[in-house]
Amino acid sequence: MNDFIINDAPLYRRALLAMTYVLENKDSGKIVAYFSVANDRISIKDFPTSTDFNCFRKHKFVNEKRLRSYPAIKICRLGIDKTIQGQQIGTFLIDFVGTMFVTDNKSGCRFLTVDAYSQAIPFYLKNDFAFLSSEDDGQRTRLMYFDLSDIDG
Give 78-87 pLDDT, tens digit per residue.
Answer: 999 998 989 9
pLDDT of residue 106: 74
24-28 average pLDDT score: 91
What is the amino acid identity at position 6? I
DSSP-based three-state secondary structure for 97: helix
138 — pLDDT class (breaks 50, 70, 90) = very high
Higher pLDDT, 26 or 65: 26
First to last CA, the chain: 31
Q: Which of 48, 94, 50, 86 is nearest to 68 (CA)?
A: 50
Is the pLDDT at 153 greater than 70? The verdict is no
| Amino acid letter, residue 30 | K
Task: Compare 45 and 106 and report the one with higher pLDDT.
Answer: 45
Q: According to the model, what pLDDT value does residue 146 have?
A: 96
Specify the pLDDT at position 1: 63
| 66/135: higher pLDDT | 135
pLDDT-based confidence at residue 95 (cuts at 50, 70, 90): very high
CA–CA distance, 121 with 42 (Å, rounded to integer): 19
Average pLDDT on 35-39 reads 96
Predicted structure pTM score: 0.89
